[in-house]
Amino acid sequence: MPLDSPLTDIERPDIERPRLLSGMQPSADSLHLGNYIGALLSWKALQETHDAFFFLADLHAITVPQDPAELRANTRRTMAQYIAAGIDPAKSTLFVQSHVPAHAELAWVLNTLTGFGEAARMTQFKDKAAKQGQEAASVGLFTYPILQAGDILLYQAVDVPVGEDQRQHIELTRDLATRFNSRFGDTFTVPKPYILKDTAKIFDLQNPGAKMSKSAESPTGLIWLLDEPKVTEKKIMRAVTDADGEVRFDREAKPGLANLLTLFAILGNRSIESVVEEFAGGGYGTLKKALAAIVVETVEPIRTRTLELLEDPAELDRILAANAEKANAVAEQTLATVYDRVGFLPPLRRHR
């Protein structure tokens, strides 16, 4: 840091309680079982041991077209699902990305450090752009991972709990942090992805070669957290398996069944081997029925609680406003250091 810098050294996360950050896009009216297992389950556990920041990635959501009224409603609905799934706003900082202007501001600086070819290698961009057609894809979709890097680096996060599909974005974040630090001096914590092996990827029930995703071709391949129990049961009973009828775990040869066994093991809190052992003699129908009961048991309290929370939107907004203040305090400090290090003249007074 230059000798005449007005800034004190940047805040470092407490070693005892490492800083953690993660978020989801509020781009559907319900989260799905992949989001729950890949992210929310570990968020809930990690908030006990970490200084956790969880946010609603509305800036990311608009990288594909959104209806404004729906986006607003989905942002509150997603926030309600975080809380209903066990994220406690008294323990964790729960906020909306657009309430913290520093996200967009840091993303700009990081854009200038990212190679065009480096961004073009991001597989999620390539997949999404292919779905929309290259010409229709926005520049925002292209720079999505750089905004994500900014989200993480602003909070000096050490751990970033996400599903396997986000690994490449966390790697880019690490590269950008290291690049900035070596060019401008030690500024950012270099984060680690926190990806649980067994829960890292949940597959589509109708198309078990693809991850469960809101942009799936058929709505019957996804379990929405806000689905009615009857709908959930039906989707599981109709899940695609295979013709040989033998209950054993084989990801390559029997991907549909492997996905069901994985779901059973995670939600039933037991090993895949013990599930296989229990159902080895029976047909797939028995396994599916038992799995449907476990999924409904997990998801139904979340659905009920979400609907209750949504009856008081003013309370949700109050929580978000209080948490935005906490998030802004941390983010502004990192951004001020970044602006100083890259050589921006300090403003005489802050404009916000």
Beta strands in the chain (DSSP E): 19-24, 51-56, 93-96, 159-161, 192-194
Note if 128 is an active site residue: yes
* φ, ψ at 107 (rounded to 5°): -55, -40
DSSP bridge pairs for 55: 23, 95
CB of 144 to ligand TYM, least distance (A): 7
Q: Is residue 23 involved in binding ligand TYM (CB under 6 A)?
A: yes
Note if 201 is an active site residue: no
Q: Which structure tokens are listed for 294? A: 């476990």
Angle in degrees, 0-180, between the axes of helices 272-279 and 284-309, rounded to the nearest 10 = 130
Does residue 200 contact residue 164 with C-beta atoms inside 8 Å?
Answer: yes
CB of 163 to ligand TYM, least distance (A): 3
Judged by CB, which is closer to ligand TYM: 29, or 165? 165
Compute how many residues bind ligand TYM; rule: CB under 6 A: 25
Judged by CB, which is closer to ligand TYM: 207, or 333? 207
Q: Is residue 165 involved in binding ligand TYM (CB under 6 A)?
A: yes
Q: Which structure tokens are listed for 243? A: 């013709």
Note if 197 is an active site residue: no
Q: Would you give the binding string for ligand TYM spanning residues 117-156, x where CB under 6 A is met? A: -------------------------------x--xx----
Q: Is residue 174 involved in binding ligand TYM (CB under 6 A)?
A: no
Q: What is the DSSP string of 186-232?
A: S-S---EEE--TTTS--B-SS-TTSB--TT-S-GGG--BTTS-HHHH
Q: Would you give the binding string for ligand TYM spanning residues 190-229, x where CB under 6 A is met? A: -----------xx--------xxx----------------
Region from 79-87, 161-169, 181-189, 299-307 binding ligand TYM, contact rule CB under 6 A: 161-169
3-state secondary structure of 93: strand
Q: Which of 308, 302, 296, 297 is nearest to 230 (CA)?
A: 296
From 128, 192, 201, 326, the catalytic residue: 128
Enumerate the active-site residues.
128, 211, 214
Judged by the rule CB under 6 A, the positions of this chain that interact with ligand TYM are 21-25, 34-35, 37-39, 57, 60, 148, 151-152, 160, 162-163, 165-166, 201-202, 211-213
